[in-house]
Chains A and B, each alone.
Chain A
Amino acid sequence: MNLVQEILLLLLDDEGAPVVAPGPVRLDHALAGAALMDLALRNRIDTDATNLLLLDATPTGEPVLDGVLEEIAASEERSDAKVWLSRLAERSQEIREGALAELIELGILEEKNKRILWVFGSRRYPAVDGRAEREVKLRVMSVLFSDEIPDPRDVAIISLISATGLLSELLSKHDLPRAMERVQQIRKMDLIGREMVSAIQNIEKVVLTAMPPMGAVPHM
């Protein structure tokens, strides 16, 4: 499973309903970040403070990731991870729908038409097989509550869980404060993860600044 699929799975409960509603800014950037971090883990791209570089344009065989890889390969200008996050966040709906289709194809989710539901529109995606999701949760817990050195994939998934606000769902009220220092330490370790969190925080800050204080009467 790739990181886009993993984070979507974590965002849904066994009945296919969203566990948390991260809000469009967080979700868009998390999906963009997941795609880029996965391509980096597969040695298709590399990053530093000023550039995101294509290393290998060979397709991964996973349509969503390959769509992103093709876009990077086709780009004529050099950009950094921040620019790519923002560019991909704009088409996160396409990434999300593609990854959900892949999870259905893999037999992990099934699609059922129901009413309501948040960013997943009017459909539910109940889990056919919850093992994959449970394995990710166990891995995250073992990294957060030990001093073990995380592997790069753990770093990526913890950054994504943190960005989408899933931590408060995964951890109890008692465990959450204990884990925060470790979460902050781990999410610094990946440049794309850092840029993703920073982009979300910057946008949310701008939105908050633009909102009138509670009770204020807007100027007409």
Chain B
Amino acid sequence: MELKLNWSGETLVAQPVGRLDGESAADFERQITEEIGDHSLVVDFAELNYISSAGLRVILVLAKALKARECRLDLCCLSHPIQEVFRISGFDQIMNIHQTRKQALAAD
């Protein structure tokens, strides 16, 4: 998995490319944790085509850590298969999910 990291004002935008799974989840978390400080995070799923249980867990861990620091986590641009994984696991009920990156950034 490649991870593109960009700042949009005070918000870090992370765009994983390819697969977020047991092989890549720890690296995904490490790179974001090293960069984010006390800022909010948008994860743009536009170029992610697969997420496993380990991928979902790392999203949960980041969401919890950000909430503890009173920072936001917003997700956007989920493909249909990934939306389905989020629905089955109930993540769509506890995460802030947006159609577009613009909407996700505006929510911050």
Question: In the complex the two chains form, is A189's CB within 8 Å of B91's CB?
Answer: yes
How far does the Cβ of A216 sit from chain B's closest Cβ, in whole Å? 39
B22 interfacial contact with A, CB 8 Å: yes
B67 interfacial contact with A, CB 8 Å: yes
How far does the Cβ of A195 sit from chain B's closest Cβ, in whole Å? 11
Residues of A within 8 A of B25 (CB): 43
Residues of B within 8 A of A53 (CB): 22
Known contacts A188-B88, A188-B90; is-contact A40 B64 (Cβ 8 Å): no
A165 interfacial contact with B, CB 8 Å: no
Interface residues of B in 36-91 (CB under 8 A from A): 50, 52-54, 56-57, 60-61, 63-64, 67, 85, 88-91
Question: In the complex the two chains form, is B61's CB within 8 Å of A189's CB?
Answer: no
Residues of A within 8 A of B (CB): 40-41, 43, 45-49, 53, 55, 148-152, 155, 185-186, 188-192, 194
Closest to A149 in B: B64
Closest to A187 in B: B90
The answer for the CA separation of A148 and B50 in the assembled complex, in Å, is 27
Main secondary structure of the interface of B (DSSP, over half): helix
Neighbour of A149 across the interface among B21, B53, B54, B94, CB < 8 A: B94
The answer for the CA separation of A148 and B94 in the assembled complex, in Å, is 10
Question: In the complex the two chains form, is A148's CB within 8 Å of B67's CB?
Answer: yes
Question: In the complex the two chains form, is A188's CB within 8 Å of B89's CB?
Answer: yes
Question: In the complex the two chains form, is A149's CB within 8 Å of B57's CB?
Answer: no
Neighbour of A185 across the interface among B61, B63, B67, B90, CB < 8 A: B90
How far does the Cβ of A177 sit from chain B's closest Cβ, in whole Å? 19
B108 interfacial contact with A, CB 8 Å: no
The answer for the CA separation of A219 and B34 in the assembled complex, in Å, is 70
Question: In the complex the two chains form, is B54's CB within 8 Å of A43's CB?
Answer: yes
The answer for the CA separation of A53 and B89 in the assembled complex, in Å, is 19
Apart from A40-B54, A43-B22: 4 A-B pairs, beta carbons within 8 A: A48-B21, A149-B60, A150-B60, A189-B89
Question: In the complex the two chains form, is A151's CB within 8 Å of B52's CB?
Answer: no
Known contacts A47-B52, A188-B90, A192-B53; is-contact A151 B64 (Cβ 8 Å): yes
Question: In the complex the two chains form, is B94's CB within 8 Å of A185's CB?
Answer: yes
